[in-house]
Amino acid sequence: MRVVIQRVSKASVTVDSNIVADIQKGLLVLVGIEDADTQEDIDWLAGKIIKMRIFGDENDVMNCSIQDIGGDIIVVSQFTLHASTKKGNRPSYIKASKPDFAIPTYENFVQTIEKEFGKKVQTGIFGADMKVSLLNDGPVTILIDSKDRE
């Protein structure tokens, strides 16, 4: 499982001209799922996302988590995070899970984040053509792969 975490001043997701998610200060989390992902990957990533100290404290030092600042989260599925660009110029998405595995795994991931976070998480719509808008704060953008735990 791969995630891109972006600290945002605001973010939204639009599908067919309808806003389906909209937050102010918080996190926009893009998630890519592969067939090798397990509950352990989900639990580990959810904990990392919720506890990650990437928001400024009273001295503007990154010491605060999303919970500490009372922010919000949007989680958006993005299979292209598993793009392989090794050969040629057209990415291959062979490692990205098909919907029969990816949808329940994505839903489980969202539910696990909500449980860890203690409040509702907004989402995009799995498989839809989404327009994601964000104002990256910092910018702060962090990549995490649950199979490469550094």
Question: Is 80 among the catalytic positions?
Answer: yes
Distance, in Å, from the CA atom of 81 to the CA atom of 1, rounded to the nearest integer, reads 9
Task: Report strand pairing: 122-123 vs 72-77.
Answer: parallel
Distance, in Å, from the CA atom of 110 to the CA atom of 34, rounded to the nearest integer, reads 16
Q: Which of 80, 112, 123, 141 is catalytic?
A: 80
Catalytic residue ranges: 80
